[in-house]
């Protein structure tokens, strides 16, 4: 998925929601194979669901909190439904919305990649390493937009640095 410069928020949320129920998490794997390991690969205590893996009490929630708590301020949440409401809300300014959407997008893949690394016994990364990687992705995208002459996003780098 890729957030365009003028994202249709509702379309984006629908797309994410469709994908949301098709990812091979522990709760889905157990339906296919009763002997499958359905425990969360990060905390190994509960059944792995997408909500748990991405937002709830998991290593990824620490990644999420580190990236989004200052960016969203009092609107910060680790609840899927609250995040969907934030994305769909048309009252948000374009700059904070862009940072929210792009950072959300940039967070999903590294968290899933880390989950797969751990599930397959590869060397794992720390929360700080994942946050650093995602931070670099966001900064690179902002720099690219600036080089393309996108004036309405001129303040995005300052806003991003202020949220670090």
- Output the DSSP codes for 88-156: H-TTS-HHHHHHHHHHHHHHHHHHHHHHHHHHTTPPP--HHHHHHHHHHHHHHHHHHHHHTT-GGGTTH
Determine the 3-state secondary structure of 10 from DSSP. helix
What is the reported pTM? 0.75
Q: Which has the closest alpha carbon to 119: 52, 5, 25, 22?
A: 25
pLDDT digits (tens, 9 = 90+) for 68-111: 888 888 888 877 667 777 777 767 677 777 888 888 878 878 88
Residue with tokens 């909190």: 65
Q: pLDDT > 90: what percent of the chain?
A: 9
Lowest mean pLDDT among 35-39, 99-103, 108-112, 144-148: 35-39
Q: How many CB atoms lie within 10 A of CB 133?
A: 17
From 9-18, 39-48, 103-112, the region with the lowest mean pLDDT: 9-18
């Amino acid at each position: 998925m890729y957030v365009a410069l003028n994202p249709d928020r509702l379309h984006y949320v629908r797309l994410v929601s469709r994908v949301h129920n098709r990812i091979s998490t522990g709760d889905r794997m157990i339906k296919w194979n009763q002997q499958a390991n359905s425990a969360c690969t990060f905390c190994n205590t509960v059944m792995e669901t997408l909500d748990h893996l991405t937002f709830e009490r998991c290593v990824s929630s620490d990644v999420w909190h580190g990236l989004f708590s200052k960016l969203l301020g009092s609107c910060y949440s680790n609840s899927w439904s609250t995040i969907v409401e934030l994305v769909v809300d048309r009252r948000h300014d374009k700059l904070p919305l862009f940072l929210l959407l792009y950072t959300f997008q940039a967070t999903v893949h590294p968290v899933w990649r880390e989950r797969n690394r751990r599930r397959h016994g590869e060397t794992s990364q720390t929360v700080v390493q994942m946050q650093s990687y995602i931070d670099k992705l966001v900064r690179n995208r902002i720099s690219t937009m600036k080089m393309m002459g996108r004036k309405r996003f001129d303040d995005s780098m300052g806003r991003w640095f202020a949220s670090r």
